[in-house]
Structure 1
Amino acid sequence: MVGGLNLSVELQDQLSAGLKGLEGAALNMTPAWAGIANYLVEEAEERFRTETDPAGVPWKPSRRVLDEGGQTLSLSGDLRRSIKPDWGSDFASAGPEASGGAAEYAEIHQRGGIIRARPGVARSKAGHDGSTHFTARALNTPFGPRQSVTIPARPYMGLSAEGVDEVLFIIAEHHQRAAGGGEIVR
């Protein structure tokens, strides 16, 4: 070029290494999935701490909490402690372990619903006066026998809008590191 400046920059090696890193990151998302699974557990722990659903709506207090105080869904702490992360090469998840006491009541607390006494034949009992009384099966609750108990939904698993942003950040950070780039600014 006459009378001018010609500047040429070769980025072939750096670009090639960065693209190879991105390819490797896309083929091995396990570190990102692990980060996401652990974040899901942190989010669930936050739900128990604040007694709110993922959108920040407060849980309906349990009758026990209204009568005696304490925290809803935290009497024994079994449900909270049962939430574990799980991940692999193509997934991330978190939730109550599939077996054990907490697994039996995890879904009803997450989604809400009605627990009914098991159907069965009425039983007869002899009364104090010698008469016969028939009793139906009932659920034993701290508040006496009941034919059914309605449990309101108290979602402890799930992501808020900020949580979705955090998951996307974890994925972006995984790819940024693989490409050899610097920190991502939030």
Structure 2
Amino acid sequence: MRIDYQFDNDEINCSIQGLTSLGQDLRPITRAISMVLAGESEDAFEKEADPTTGQPWPVLSEAYRERLEKKGKNGKMLQRSQGGLAMSLTPDFDAVSAAIGTNKVYGALMHLGGTPAMPAAPAAVKARPYMGLPPEGIIRIVDIINQMHQNALNGQG
């Protein structure tokens, strides 16, 4: 024997609609996540450290540092050209993903470092990661997701 019970409750229906709406378009969550990613990169440039590990970036060679200073480029590392790389970082998101990126051609070289297959000058570039998430960033993202779900459950879009 089977029995079904159906009910209609405005509060429950509103909460379900909120979750349904959230499930169809996660832009509120992915937008917030992309802002966390951008913030972590900003911190990396400020601290001159890998955002994921907190390890300081390798220092510049003395000769290269002196060459930059003669050109008047004596600011923070990777920001000596009016902060071009830092300012080029762009958060991006859609309904299912969040990202941060740069359109600077040297962005990957600075982030990943040179490889032996490259000519001598770029091959010598040490990685100075500026994109990534520390544990605190992961916690912030989980909190954002949990808050968005809670808001949806409470009928707050």
Same fold (TM over 0.5): yes
2:143 maps to 169
Identity of aligned residues (%): 32
Greater helix share, structure number: 2
1:1-186 mapped onto 2 (5 Å cutoff): 12-54=9-51, 55-63=53-61, 66-67=65-66, 68=69, 70-76=75-81, 77-97=83-103, 103-114=104-115, 116-117=118-119, 147-149=120-122, 150-180=124-154
Runs of 4+ in 1 over 3 A off after TM superposition: 64-70, 114-117
Structure 2 residue runs without a partner (length 5+): 1-7
Indicate if the aligned counterparts of 1:87 and 1:93 stay in contact, CA closer than 8 A.
yes
TM-score (norm 1): 0.66
TM-score (norm 2): 0.78
Q: Please give the secondary structure, in 2, of the residue aligned with 1:86.
A: strand
- For these two proteins, the number of residue pairs brought into alignment is 139
Deviations, residues 2-23 of structure 1 (Å, cap 9, x unaligned): xxxxxxxxx9432332122112
Aligned residue type for 1:175: H
Measure, in 1, the Cα distance between the counterparts of 2:93 and 2:144: 14
Q: 1:80 to 1:41 in 2, by over 3 A?
A: same
Aligned residue identity for 1:74: Q
In structure 1, what is the Cα distance between the partners aligned to 2:60 and 2:93? 33
- 1:51 alignment partner AA: E
Structure 1 runs not aligned, ≥5 long: 1-10, 98-102, 118-146
Q: Structure with the greater relative contact order (CA < 8 A, sep ≥ 6): 1 or 2? A: 2
Structure exhibiting the larger radius of gyration computed from Cα positions: 1
- Aligned Cα root-mean-square deviation (Å): 2.4
